[in-house]
Amino acid sequence: MVDRKRGLGRGLSALLPGTEPGLQLVPLSEIATNPMQPRQRFAEDSLQELAASIREHGVLQPLLVTPLVPSRPTGEHYQLVVGERRLRAARMAGLEKVPVLVRGLSSRESLEVALVENLQRQDLNPVEEAQAFQELMLAFGLTQEEVAGRVGRSRSAVANSLRLLKLPEPVLTMLQDGRLSEGQARPLLALASDDAIIRAARQVVDGDLTARQCERLVRELLAPASHHRPPQAPKPQPTQLEEQLRRRLGTKVNLVRTRRGGKLVIHFYSDEELDSIVRSIVGSDEGL
């Protein structure tokens, strides 16, 4: 019996059943693309180079596919799991058939295998990686911790990746294009508005700032005035002033602050006590 509790973080070999069937040559027309493919961007020049290599040497690494049950009316019998780039390049090279390995995989297993394969090859940009984690959570009800266990990442790494999806669309595009790195983008999340994040991201890209310089920029944007204001001694609290006046005058004192100043209330309980307070304030020779 096959152990279904295999961990995806240990590599692609841990994802697949132990029995190794032989290769099959399958017409390209029978292979449907994977609608849950984590990788969305493929560089045209890189595809052209791979297509040239395929014309010369053929497809050296088989594609991984899963049967479509039932087959589609269009004649597609398999759905691609791993090998989108090879599939596209094979079509560009004019091939009619490609070598494949056929595995019976569920939708979740197909997404997990595709995600792990791309993570191991480091083919995903930070946005594609975060979107794949989110898809696992939303489509299959997994927690961050469960996703982390399935793809061999720490829970904090998955959480930090998902936080990137809170960035505004123009900044996500910078991440996808490689103009902005994950280390540069993450500090921007501390800014208060999308406009502030976009302006800061453009400043980071234009100035070619490092991740550490980006963190410093965000701190300055969050507290712009504090860097130009000389340090000031802390103001005494009203209770401290009240206590000083009470000891000086020998009676109860209330200090009440308002937006335009405040008021000072000095309490006395006899004419003699009032005379003593006045003498303390204006001098010993000045009484009532």
3 in any annotated domain: no
| pLDDT of amino acid 169 | 92
| pLDDT of amino acid 115 | 73
Residue ending a domain, choose from 93, 108, 123: 108
Domain count, the chain: 2
Tens-place pLDDT, residues 160-199:
999 999 999 999 999 988 899 888 999 999 988 899 999 9
Which residue did the predictor score with more confidence, 109 or 270?
Answer: 109
84 is catalytic: yes
Tens-place pLDDT, residues 18-38:
434 557 888 989 988 877 766
Residue ending a domain, choose from 89, 108, 127: 108
Q: Exactly one of 30, 84, 272, 286 is catalytic; which is it?
A: 84
254 in any annotated domain: yes
Position 239 pLDDT exceeds 50? yes
Query: Which of 171-174's residues contact partners 24+ apart within 8 Å by CB, and which partners?
Result: 171/197, 171/198, 171/201, 172/127, 174/201, 174/205
73 in any annotated domain: yes
118 in any annotated domain: no
52 in any annotated domain: yes
Position 14 pLDDT exceeds 50? no
Short-list 132, 118, 10, 142, CA closest to 64: 118
pLDDT band of 146, cuts 50, 70, 90? confident
User: Which CATH number characterizes residue 37's domain?
Assistant: 3.90.1530.30
Percent of the chain with pLDDT over 70: 81
Domain span at residue 244?
Answer: 238-282
